[in-house]
Structure 1
Amino acid sequence: MADEPETNPFPVPPPMPEAPPVMPYVPPVDPYVPPAVSAMDFEEPVGGLRAEERTMGMLCHLLAFSGYLIPFGHLIGPLVMWLVKKDESAFVDANGKESLNFQITLTIAGVVSGILCLVLIGFLLLPVVIVGGIVLTIIASIKANEGTVYRYPVCLRLIH
């Protein structure tokens, strides 16, 4: 038995092949995921107006709804906004005047409709004045936020 070569009960495995170079993990791109920086961050002013001007123009109209909470708030809200911001922006100035003129017109129409309630026709006119005022104020607010000055269709132009 001396002539037999010694066998190792634990044979040495062959050397491992070289591993390919490690590439950094790149997650797959999902076409439905929005980019990290949205286009809104670099939004161009609408019609040359800043977002603040459009917001103030919109508030000139929306502050008229404060009249449902505060007596004469429909006049005071737009008046205060217009007086504070009219010198800063021609857009806010135009929207403030338009809102005030319309609210004055609504006040006159409401008083006339109230008086005509004595003759029964006012009961038909009063809901038209109220609903028309709400709808047109919302439309004007949306238009102001889009950067346009909305001209109310039935409005006395008392403030120029």
Structure 2
Amino acid sequence: MEIINQNIALREDKQLLVITHLTQYLDYVTGFGGLIVPLILWLTNRDAVLGMNEHGKSIINLQLSLILYVVIGIPGILLLGMGILLLVFAGILSLVMPIVNAVRASNGESPSYFGTIRFID
């Protein structure tokens, strides 16, 4: 019978956490990747980097919330134009929150994404 040591030392890598938050801007640069790249970084490093699991979940929750807001907002434009407000809210949220949380990650604080739905807890 083989015993495997489950005690894995987590390393502290604030730079990777900041980069993970800033990769959400790939949607603006390339048109895609704002969900896929942080998802890959989170899945590959969540057991190795201290705080990556918490930050990664927050990033994925934000990206999924933004997709939902856009999917609801586009048809909502036809209903008295109320979808425009939702799209403006999603746009501001997608521009401001990654920078705020990248700064919070560099300071060693936990992420705080305003207006997100917790899909992954």
Q: TM-score range by the shorter chain?
A: 0.7 to 0.9
Query: 1:111: which partner in 2?
Result: 71
Aligned to 1:136, the other structure's residue is in SS state helix
Shift of 1:153: 2.4
Give the TM-score taking structure 2 as reference length. Answer: 0.81
SS at the partner of 1:90? coil
Per the alignment, residue 74 of structure 1 pairs with 34
Q: How does 1:32-51 map to 2 (within 5 A)?
A: 50=12
More helix by share: 2
Aligned to 1:31: none
User: Percent of pairs identical after alignment?
Assistant: 27
Spell out structure 1 runs of 4+ moving beyond 2 A. Answer: 69-72
Q: Give the drift of 1:125.
A: 2.2
Partner SS state of residue 72, structure 2: helix
Higher relative contact order (CA 8 A, sep 6+): 2
CA distances 1:65-116 after superposition (whole Å, capped 9, x unpaired): 1112334412112101101211102311211111111111111111111121
- RMSD (Å), alpha carbons: 1.6
Number of residue pairs matched?
A: 110
Equivalent in the alignment of 2:104: 143
Output the CA distance in 2 between the equivalents of 1:155 and 1:142: 18
Gaps of 5+ in 1: 1-48
Q: CA deviation at 1:135?
A: 0.8
